[in-house]
Amino acid sequence: MSQHDRVRQSTSPALNREIRAQTESRIEAVRESPARINERLHEIDAEWDIERAIETLSSGLTLTGLALALSGRRRWLALPVLVQGFLLQHAVQGWCPPVPILRRLGFRTQREIERERYTLRALLRDHVGSRHSDRPAELPAAS
C-alpha cells in the first residue's frame, strides 16, 4: 500500500469518486476565467487536508481529556489514551475511526488537493499563453 494513498485506499470507492467529482466540478466552474482560477487557488491555499484535521482533532480531544482529569475526574484519562491510540493507528495504517467522518465532510488528502492545484495552474498558464498568442506580433523598433 502506497504511503501517500493510505487514506484514499481506506476510504470507500464511492466516497473517493464523490470527492473526485466535486474537485472536477470546481475545476470546470472556473475553467474559463483566469480571475476565478486565481481565486480558487487562494481558497486551496487555505484548505486543511485530512492529516491536519486529524492532528487538530487529536490534540484538542487529548488536551480536553487531560484538563478534565486534572480537575479531579481521573476517568477522563481514558479519552487521551483512546485518542492517541487512534492517532497511532492512523500513523501505521492510514485509517482511524474519524477518517470516514472527515472524508464525508469533504476533507481531502494533500495529494488530492495538489492535483487540483496543478490542474488550475496549468489552466492559468494556458490562459496566459493563449492571451499572448492572440495579439499580433509586435514590429521591431525602428532604429
Question: Which cell goes with 116?
Answer: 487540483
Rounded to two decimals, the pTM is 0.83
User: Where exactly are the structural domains of the chain?
Assistant: 13-47+110-131, 49-107
Q: Over its length of 143 residues, how does the chain's per-residue pLDDT go in tens digits?
A: 565 689 999 999 999 999 999 999 999 999 989 899 999 999 999 999 999 999 999 999 999 999 999 999 999 999 999 999 999 999 999 899 999 999 999 999 999 999 999 999 999 998 877 665 444 434 334 43
Contact 3/110 with Cβ under 8 angstroms? no
Contact 24/30 with Cβ under 8 angstroms? no
